[in-house]
Structure 1
Amino acid sequence: MRRAPSTFALVLVLVAAALLLALALSSALQRRFGRQVVSDSYSRLALATALATDELASRPQDPAARQVLGSLRLLGVHVSDAQPPAPSVRRIAPALTAVARTAGSLLGDPSRVVATQTPDSQLWVRSARDLARWIVLRTPSYRPRLLDSALLLSVLAGLIALAAAGLAARLLTRPLERLAAQASALLAGTPTDAGLDGSPREVRRLAAAIGEAGERLRAVARERELMLAGISHDLRTPLARLRLAMELGDAGDPVRRAAMVADLEELDRALEQCLAFVREGRDEALQPTDLTTLAGQLLALRLQPDDWQLEGPAEVAVPIRPTLLRRALGNLMDNAERYGAPPFTVTLTRQADAIELGVTDHGPGVAPGLLPRLGQPFLRGDAARSGVGSGLGLSIAARAARLHDGELRLANRSGGGFVAILRLPIPRAPVPPAASAQ
């Protein structure tokens, strides 16, 4: 399998490429600007020298003129009656071509200036006094030295660019490396704040997200462990009774057979609650549902419906997950009947931003020390209410509230009894677009 490049290598290559591109563009612009400056200044000097030489060449009898012409010859400037040599295959330096072009423009006649390179670089300027006479200026070639200097500068610039790219890449990837090294600890819940000091904000946010994901995974693992422990505990007693009844041959006794059926129903309820707890209900779509009708249907299914009362508006339609909320409200009603005492009441209260579904009983309530822990998976209120059950009813109701962006509130009533309230926020209606002017 081909090994993927590391983040450090990718960042190093990107930064180095960006720096080298910037250096190349800067060098190109500098060469272009430098060539323009050189051609402008050198062409003026060359023209001044050529015009002065032409003036001196027109006075061959003047000893001083001959002396100056001799000095100029030593400097590479002489007068020639020959024609400029034909262009050779060798390419003329761009700088010399630019000088010739600028000098011709300054003279007003580009044909009077010719640049040659055979092999030395020369600038030929036609005399204004004698068209057969040319003033030849030898231009020294700095190209080899310029190439060497350019190569040396390029190498130095490349090394500097690579060093800067390496430093930048290290600064960018070191927090990621530290985060990768501490990812396992973050998932395990070990505090690693000190190890990420000085890291960018995005890395700290990623670390926080990994920590939250780890906490959720640990919570799911704890819930599964509790569920397995709860199932094994809840199923052990009914199974033991069924086994004993089968060994004793109680199937022929109607009373004992009814007890066996009750044990089977208890097993079925426990498994159903565990499955409901595992499924969560996240996949169920929101549907507009009348909560008053839903609560009335649940009241009609109670074994003692006369013990129940429904208080609230005639219709409360909101988008909910019907199956999930029906199960949550049913669990609250089951808890009221199992642990409380009649009369029972289901109340529907519509507020400005939420709807509250309350289930009230008139039983003994819950011990104050146990009240904050209610809603934890497989936690029963037996210490205060002596009953049976899977211990998942309130957990399922609390999860249903959270999936509706709401909450489950549990409290003892001031006049005696217990109240469980499902508070569900009312979704805001979308704002209609403004009508266009007619």
Structure 2
Amino acid sequence: MRRAPSTFGLVLALVAAALLLALALSSGLQRRFGKQVMGDSYGRLALATALATDELASRPQDAAARQVLASLRLLGVQVSEAQPPAPSVRRIAPALVAVARTVGGLLGDPSRVVVTQTPESQLWVRSTRDPARWIVLRAPSYRPRLLDSALLVSLIAGLIALAAAGLAARLLTRPLERLAAQAPALLAGAPTDAVLDGSPREVRRLADAIGDAGERLRGAARERELMLAGISHDLRTPLARLRLALELGDAGDATRRAAMVADLEELDRALEQCLAFVREGRDEALQAIDLATLAGQLLALRQQPDEWQADGPAELVVPVRPTLLRRALGNLMDNAERYGAPPFSVALVREAGAIELRVSDRGAGAPPELLARLGQPFLRGDPARGGGGSGLGLSIASRAAQLHGGELRLANRPGGGFIATLRLPVAAA
């Protein structure tokens, strides 16, 4: 498998590329600006030299003029009656072209200026006094020295850029390396402040996210362990009764056979609740349904529907997860019948920004020490409120509320009884 690049290498390459690009742009702009400055300043000097030489060449009898011309020849300035030669190289230096353009512009006639490179660079300026006479100025070539200087400067700047890029990359990736080294500890629940002192805000947020993910994983593992323990406990008793009944040959007796069927139904309900708890209902799509109709359907399925009463509007259509909400509301009604006492009530209340489904009874209520723990998986009510059940009903209802962006509220009623409230925000629903 191809090995992926490290974060340090990627950041180093990115920062180095950015610095080298900035250096290249700066060098290009500097060359362009330097060419303009050279063309303007050197062009004016070249024109002044050509005009002065032309004036001196027009006075051949003047000894002083001849002496000055001899000195100018030593400096590379000559007077020629020949025509400018054709360039023997393909490309003329851009700086010399800029000088010629400046000279031609100042003379008002660019045709009087010719640039040659054979390979020596020369600037030919036609005389204003004698069209057959040319003033030839040798342009010294600084190209090799400039090239060497540019290479040296680029090399030094590149080394500095790489050093700066390496330092920046190390400063950026060191917190990530520390985070990678501490990730197992964070997943195990270690505090983030102790291992990430001085780290950037984004790294701390990532560490917090890893810690939250670890907490969720540990919670899921605890729930799985608790669910397996609960299933084994719930299945052991009815299975033992079924085995004993089969060994005693109770299948032939109608009454005992009905008890066996009841045990099987109890097993089926326990497994159904466990599967509903595991699936959670996250994949179910939102649908607009009438909660009043849903509550009426669930009331019609009660064994003693006369013990129930419904309160609320005749119609209340909201987008919810129908199957999940039906199971949650059904579990609350089952809990009311199992642990409470009639009269039972289902109320639909629409408040500002929220909808509440309240299931209440007039039983003994829940002990205060148990009330805060209700809703935990496989936690059953105490014997004072009855028995049976899988201990997942309130957990499923709580998850249903959370998946709808709401919450499940459990409380004892004044005067005796218990009330469970599914509160669903209208915006979330």
When normalised by structure 1's length, the TM-score is 0.91
Match of residue 177 from structure 2: 177
Supply the distance in 1 between the matched residues of 2:313 and 2:79 (Cα, whole angstroms).
116
Supply the distance in 1 between the matched residues of 2:374 and 2:274 (Cα, whole angstroms).
17
Supply the distance in 2 between the matched residues of 1:290 and 1:16 (Cα, whole angstroms).
62
Superposed displacement of residue 428, structure 1: 8.1
Matched, 1:373 2:373: yes
Supply the distance in 2 between the matched residues of 1:401 and 1:184 (Cα, whole angstroms).
32
Match of residue 266 from structure 2: 266
1:185–1:192 Cα contact (<8 Å) kept: no
- Describe the superposition over 1:325-365 as per-residue Cα deviations: whole angstroms up to 9, x where unpaired: 22222211221222122222222223232222222222221
Match of residue 151 from structure 2: 151
Superposed counterparts of 1:364-403, under 5 Å = 364-403=364-403
Shift in CA distance, 155/302, structure 1 to aligned 2, threshold 3 Å:
same
Amino acid at match of 1:312: G
Superposed displacement of residue 371, structure 1: 0.5
Superposed displacement of residue 191, structure 1: 1.6
**Is there any run of 5+ residues in structure 1 with no aligned partner, and where?**
430-438
Superposed counterparts of 1:7-406, under 5 Å = 7-89=7-89, 91-406=91-406
- Tell me, what secondary structure is at the counterpart of 2:368? coil
Match of residue 409 from structure 1: 409
Supply the distance in 2 between the matched residues of 1:79 and 1:292 (Cα, whole angstroms).
111
Supply the distance in 2 between the matched residues of 1:268 and 1:184 (Cα, whole angstroms).
40
Shift in CA distance, 427/34, structure 1 to aligned 2, threshold 3 Å:
closer
Superposed displacement of residue 49, structure 1: 1.8
**Is there any run of 5+ residues in structure 2 with no aligned partner, and where?**
none
Supply the distance in 2 between the matched residues of 1:345 and 1:126 (Cα, whole angstroms).
113
2:338–2:386 Cα contact (<8 Å) kept: no
1:360–1:419 Cα contact (<8 Å) kept: yes
Identity %: 84
1:397–1:408 Cα contact (<8 Å) kept: yes
Supply the distance in 2 between the matched residues of 1:117 and 1:292 (Cα, whole angstroms).
97
Amino acid at match of 1:232: S
Amino acid at match of 1:181: A
Superposed displacement of residue 235, structure 1: 0.7
Supply the distance in 2 between the matched residues of 1:337 and 1:86 (Cα, whole angstroms).
111
Superposed displacement of residue 90, structure 1: 6.0
Superposed displacement of residue 152, structure 1: 0.7
Superposed displacement of residue 290, structure 1: 2.4
Superposed displacement of residue 410, structure 1: 1.0
Q: Is the deviation greater in 81-90 or in 19-28?
A: 81-90
Superposed displacement of residue 111, structure 1: 3.2
Q: Is the deviation greater in 329-338 or in 282-291?
A: 282-291
Supply the distance in 2 between the matched residues of 1:296 and 1:123 (Cα, whole angstroms).
104
1:382–1:388 Cα contact (<8 Å) kept: no
Superposed displacement of residue 91, structure 1: 4.1
Q: Is the deviation greater in 110-119 or in 365-374?
A: 110-119
Superposed displacement of residue 308, structure 1: 2.0
Supply the distance in 2 between the matched residues of 1:391 and 1:382 (Cα, whole angstroms).
11
Amino acid at match of 2:166: G
Supply the distance in 2 between the matched residues of 1:83 and 1:324 (Cα, whole angstroms).
99
- Describe the superposition over 1:81-103 as per-residue Cα deviations: whole angstroms up to 9, x where unpaired: 33333322364322223222321
Supply the distance in 2 between the matched residues of 1:91 and 1:332 (Cα, whole angstroms).
91
2:192–2:208 Cα contact (<8 Å) kept: no
Supply the distance in 2 between the matched residues of 1:9 and 1:133 (Cα, whole angstroms).
65
Amino acid at match of 2:395: S
Supply the distance in 2 between the matched residues of 1:309 and 1:101 (Cα, whole angstroms).
101
- Tell me, what secondary structure is at the counterpart of 1:116? strand
Supply the distance in 2 between the matched residues of 1:159 and 1:151 (Cα, whole angstroms).
12
1:238–1:264 Cα contact (<8 Å) kept: yes
Supply the distance in 1 between the matched residues of 2:371 and 2:32 (Cα, whole angstroms).
83
Shift in CA distance, 318/59, structure 1 to aligned 2, threshold 3 Å:
closer
Supply the distance in 1 between the matched residues of 2:111 and 2:306 (Cα, whole angstroms).
119
- Tell me, what secondary structure is at the counterpart of 1:283? coil
- Describe the superposition over 1:343-397 as per-residue Cα deviations: whole angstroms up to 9, x where unpaired: 2222222323222222222222111011000000000112542411111111111
- Describe the superposition over 1:121-168 as per-residue Cα deviations: whole angstroms up to 9, x where unpaired: 332333322333333322322221111111111111222222222233
Shift in CA distance, 61/188, structure 1 to aligned 2, threshold 3 Å:
same
- Tell me, what secondary structure is at the counterpart of 2:79? strand
1:308–1:343 Cα contact (<8 Å) kept: yes
1:273–1:392 Cα contact (<8 Å) kept: yes
Supply the distance in 1 between the matched residues of 2:130 and 2:86 (Cα, whole angstroms).
21
Supply the distance in 2 between the matched residues of 1:370 and 1:179 (Cα, whole angstroms).
40
Supply the distance in 2 between the matched residues of 1:160 and 1:360 (Cα, whole angstroms).
75
Amino acid at match of 1:32: R
1:398–1:407 Cα contact (<8 Å) kept: yes
Supply the distance in 2 between the matched residues of 1:412 and 1:238 (Cα, whole angstroms).
32
Supply the distance in 2 between the matched residues of 1:113 and 1:192 (Cα, whole angstroms).
76
Match of residue 434 from structure 1: none
Match of residue 418 from structure 1: 418
Supply the distance in 1 between the matched residues of 2:93 and 2:349 (Cα, whole angstroms).
92
Supply the distance in 1 between the matched residues of 2:421 and 2:109 (Cα, whole angstroms).
100
Amino acid at match of 2:254: P
Q: How many residues align?
A: 429
Amino acid at match of 2:122: Q
Q: Is the deviation greater in 198-207 or in 355-364?
A: 198-207
Shift in CA distance, 426/116, structure 1 to aligned 2, threshold 3 Å:
closer
1:290–1:318 Cα contact (<8 Å) kept: yes
Superposed displacement of residue 248, structure 1: 2.2
Superposed displacement of residue 232, structure 1: 0.2
